[in-house]
Amino acid sequence: MSHYKFLAIKSKFWKPKEDYIAKIVTALKDKVQDGDFIVISEKAISTATGNIYDESKILPNRTARFLAKYWMRYFWPYVLGPLCHLRGKTIQHLRNYPIEEGSAHKQVALQRVGLLQALRHASEGGIDATNLPYSYVSLPLKHPLQVAKRIRESIRTMLRKEVVVMIVDTDKTYTWKCFHFSSRSKAIDGIRSFGGFIAYLIGRSFKLEKRATPLVILGTNISVEETLEIAEMANRARGHGMGRTIWDIAAAFNVKPTGVSWKMLEAAEHKPIVIIRSFS
């Protein structure tokens, strides 16, 4: 049975149009060894590649407005929040869910990932507003395998190291016995993806084991269980940065959720890369 140790690598905030592969290679220089797992945040890659969206530019429809005004403000705080064992602070934020900005956010979710994902209270289908400024959200990667191949090949070419590359979303995969499932539509083989909101509800309400979701793993044939353990280890090593939610981050800077700026995020500490190394 292998054991693991980890190193979370601090980095400046990856802004859109930055060469994130060059940043990864530079960060790993003199730190990485053959066989290491390089676990990278999907959100950081999406931001760097410009896979983000400005929600202030969208016009919400009636369904989106209903979700923001009633579903989020009443059904989640008073019914689903307690059922899913959400933190008291999160439930309080949901009671004051912003109607205008929230309607735009739900409209993006409806268009990009569909109704079952839009019913989530956050991280709908991988759409994430944390660690992004103003009204921007990061979108889920369309082709994570291609991204992982580029990263792994760049590390091989520039650092002469053979590594395993994993791209991970903080949104959870739930486990019941040997059955693994996630609300994300894309995850590694062996993790069932179904139902969006329904998968989240089942996992949270029954307090099933939950771990970060590996979207792709390249360079090894380890089991799904071991992959999940490594993904969650990297997630814990990375920490929550300025906070778990957009509300926590806004509170840290004493601004509204849409008042967080690029400059504020650049001043914060980020750990988009984690090295995981096995030993017997």
Residue-level pLDDT, tens digit, the chain, 280 residues? 468 999 999 999 999 999 999 999 999 999 999 999 999 999 999 999 999 999 999 999 999 999 999 999 999 999 999 999 999 999 999 999 999 999 999 999 999 999 999 999 999 999 999 889 999 999 999 999 999 999 999 999 999 999 999 999 999 999 999 999 999 988 999 999 988 999 999 999 999 999 999 999 999 999 999 999 999 999 999 987 777 788 888 888 899 888 999 999 998 889 999 999 988 6
In this structure, are 73 and 163 located in the same domain?
A: no
Q: How many CA atoms lie within 13 A of 145 on its CB side?
A: 4
Domain count, the chain: 2
Out of 138, 162, 191, a domain closes at 138
**Model's pTM, two decimal places?**
0.94
In this structure, are 132 and 195 located in the same domain?
A: no
In this structure, are 146 and 63 located in the same domain?
A: no
Quote the pLDDT of residue 1. Answer: 47
Beta bridge partners, 8, equal 274
**What DSSP designation does 125 have?**
G
Distance CA 134, CA 257 (A): 7
Out of 86, 112, 138, a domain closes at 138
Range of the domain at 224: 3-48+142-279
Cβ atoms 10, 269 nearer than 8 A: yes
In this structure, are 156 and 192 located in the same domain?
A: yes
In this structure, are 268 and 164 located in the same domain?
A: yes
In this structure, are 254 and 184 located in the same domain?
A: yes
Quote the pLDDT of residue 240. Answer: 76
Q: Cα angle vertex 268, ends 56, 91, to 5°?
A: 60
Out of 105, 138, 171, a domain closes at 138
Distance CA 8, CA 270 (A): 9
In this structure, are 43 and 60 located in the same domain?
A: no
| Residues across the chain | 280
Cβ atoms 16, 118 nearer than 8 A: no
